[in-house]
């Protein structure tokens, strides 16, 4: 079995299993901690609050949006572009159809792919350099923040290194890093991709129940 076959075959399956089961375990684990039933007479709907809270925090309120503009642009640029890359890049579609499920995802033209990659890289780099160059960020950041960022960066970088598709080693390297990333994910802060809806929702539910405007 060649290196590429290994990282795309058995290792990928193992990594995916750890990713799915680990993420599920963690989300269910958080929910299972449970919370005391609130018996104060409600003024509004907690369920609606959960939904509204999730939507509200997609964007900060007016004055904060201006103060944090750089972060919003970099954050959204990175996340959206990465999502587009993962789902719609031609090699990814080929891989998904080949290895996972036979879905017909629209294939992006190459220029779209390049533009998305530029935005994703610019966003991620900005987010990280902000982390290292601000006293607040330096104080609150830990290893997990940096490892998560760098792993994601290396996955993206190795992916773009393999763009020529002329060296199977580069494809293998990209896949190896993807596997490492998948294994690291459920144990790290990368999990925010799944936990965000819980925290937004919980605050939203509490506020919603109190009939508050948040």
Sites for another protein among residues 180-209 (CB under 8 A): 186-187, 189, 191-192, 195-196, 198-204, 206-207
- 72 secondary structure, DSSP code: H
Does the footprint of another protein cover residue 92 (CB under 8 A)?
no
Q: Burial-class residue 177 by CB neighbours within 10 Å (0-12, 13-18, 19+).
A: buried
Q: CB-wise, 63 or 103, nearer to another protein?
A: 63
**Binding segment (CB under 8 A) for another protein, from list 8-16, 89-97, 134-142, 176-184:** 134-142
Q: How far is the CB of 14 from another protein (least distance, A)?
A: 17
Q: CB-wise, 12 or 201, nearer to another protein?
A: 201
Task: Single out the residue of 1, 35, 101, 104 in contact with another protein (rule: CB under 8 A).
Answer: 35
Tokens of 74: 């970099």
Tokens of 135: 């006293």
Give the separation between CA 100 and CA 80, rounded to whole angstroms.
Answer: 22
Q: How far is the CB of 77 from another protein (least distance, A)?
A: 11
Q: How far is the CB of 101 from another protein (least distance, A)?
A: 28
Does the footprint of another protein cover residue 29 (CB under 8 A)?
yes
Give the separation between CA 124 and CA 187, rounded to whole angstroms.
Answer: 21
Give the separation between CA 164 and CA 141, rounded to whole angstroms.
Answer: 36
Q: How far is the CB of 60 from another protein (least distance, A)?
A: 5
Does the footprint of another protein cover residue 111 (CB under 8 A)?
no
Give the separation between CA 214 and CA 211, rounded to whole angstroms.
Answer: 9
Q: 27: Cβ–Cβ under 8 A, 6 or more apart, which residues?
A: 191, 194, 195, 198
Q: CB-wise, 32 or 101, nearer to another protein?
A: 32
Does the footprint of another protein cover residue 211 (CB under 8 A)?
yes
């Amino acid at each position: 079995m060649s290196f590429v076959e290994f990282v795309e075959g058995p290792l990928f399956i193992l990594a995916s299993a750890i990713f799915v089961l680990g993420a599920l375990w963690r989300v269910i684990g958080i929910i299972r901690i449970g919370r005391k039933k609130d018996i104060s007479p409600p003024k509004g709907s907690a369920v609606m609050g959960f939904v509204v809270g999730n939507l509200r925090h997609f964007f900060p309120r007016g004055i904060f949006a201006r103060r944090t503009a750089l972060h919003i642009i970099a954050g959204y640029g990175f996340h959206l572009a990465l999502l587009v890359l993962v789902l719609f890049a031609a090699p990814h579609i080929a891989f998904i159809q080949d290895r996972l499920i036979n879905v017909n995802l629209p294939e992006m033209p190459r220029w779209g792919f390049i533009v998305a990659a530029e935005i994703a890289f610019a966003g991620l780099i900005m987010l990280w350099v902000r982390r290292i160059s601000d006293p607040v960020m330096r104080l609150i950041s830990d290893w997990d923040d940096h490892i998560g960022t760098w792993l994601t960066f290396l996955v993206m970088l190795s992916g773009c290194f393999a763009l020529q598709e002329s060296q199977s080693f580069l494809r293998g390297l990209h896949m190896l890093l993807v596997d490492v990333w998948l294994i690291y994910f459920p144990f790290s802060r990368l999990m925010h991709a799944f936990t965000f809806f819980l925290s937004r929702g919980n605050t939203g539910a509490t506020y919603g129940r109190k009939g508050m405007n948040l």
